[in-house]
Amino acid sequence: MNLLFAIDDRVVDQLLTTLYSIKCNTTAKSFSVYVIQDKKLTHTQRIINFCKKLKMTYHAIIVSNTHFDKAPVTDRYPKTIYYRLLAYEYLPKNLQRVLYLDTDVLVINDLKHLYNMDFDGYWYAAASHVALDVTDSLNKIRLGNYDTNGYFNSGVILMNLPAEREYVKAEDIYGYIRIKNLALFLPDQDILNGLYGQHIKKIPDEVYNYDARMNPLYYAKSNGQWDIDWVIDHTAILHFCGRDKPWKADYKERYSGLYKHYAHLAKNLH
């Protein structure tokens, strides 16, 4: 299983927690962990040692000259978030697929069904969150893509690398950023949806990209079926979207204890 992350030194602990949760709950025979970074991470040796303990192989991908010098950049959206858009340029040419994950996710069930799914001709597979359904039409207008089947979250993306190598072009991304610059509220996610939304296979967010903030919405949408027991049994990926994060002391949402438990176990393994 090929896993892809794009991080800086601020979220190394979160990366290790995510990796630990994957190892605990996924039945792949081997794992290759590709981490795109601006410069060699300060904690590289710690990551290498941790991956060895998990029997994972760590691959650092250092991008010294970014393609995104003119892209919107803030403290919340560093340049590293753009690397997933052209990840195929940095990854080994023999890779056919890779699963990109943000480091604010926790894997609580097996990823194999997601990872091995048929792309059916799509270039990506991703989820559209239930909370954003009502804004789909507005996003189509804002981003200028009327053919897409939803507004997809970019925190969990299964990538069809042969298709990306053929069809995803840096020049198209540059041009879109220049045209839509001020309209990009969530820059990398907006670019993915605006340019390639019609080429994304829709997967169920309640299974593969459960927004941990939205428990009442999931419960209501399922007429009470998707309660906490259902999530523990069926959801593969919990995604702690938004500014509030479960590694912060004041985070008190429903799945905070579950995250802190995995973080504690991962820390003990360092």
First to last CA, the chain: 22
Closest by CA position to 117, among listed 158, 85, 79: 158
**Per-residue model confidence (pLDDT) at position 132:** 46
For residues 171-193, average pLDDT: 80
Average pLDDT over the chain reads 89
CA distance 94 to 161: 9
- Type of residue at 260: K
- Contacts (Cβ under 8 Å, ≥6 apart) of 251: 244, 245
Domain ranges of the chain: 2-269
pLDDT band, very low/low/confident/very high, at 149 (cuts 50, 70, 90): low
How does pLDDT run across 225-255, given as a tens digit for each residue? Answer: 999 999 999 999 999 999 999 999 999 889 9
- Contacts (Cβ under 8 Å, ≥6 apart) of 106: 17, 18, 21, 237, 238, 240, 246, 255, 258, 259, 262
Homologous superfamily of 2-269: Spore Coat Polysaccharide Biosynthesis Protein SpsA; Chain A (3.90.550.10)
| In the predicted structure, residue 2 carries a pLDDT above the cut 50 | yes
- Helix residue ranges, H only, the chain: 12-25, 44-53, 87-90, 112-115, 136-143, 161-167, 170-180, 187-196, 205-208, 215-221, 228-234, 256-269
How does pLDDT run across 131-145, given as a tens digit for each residue? Answer: 545 456 566 555 565
Name the most confidently modeled range: 134-138, 170-174, 204-208: 204-208
Percentage of the chain lying above the pLDDT 70 cut: 86
How does pLDDT run across 57-81, given as a tens digit for each residue? Answer: 999 999 876 566 766 666 655 676 6
**Per-residue model confidence (pLDDT) at position 30:** 97
Region label for 223, one of left (φ > 0), alpha (ψ between -120 and 50) or beta (otherwise): left
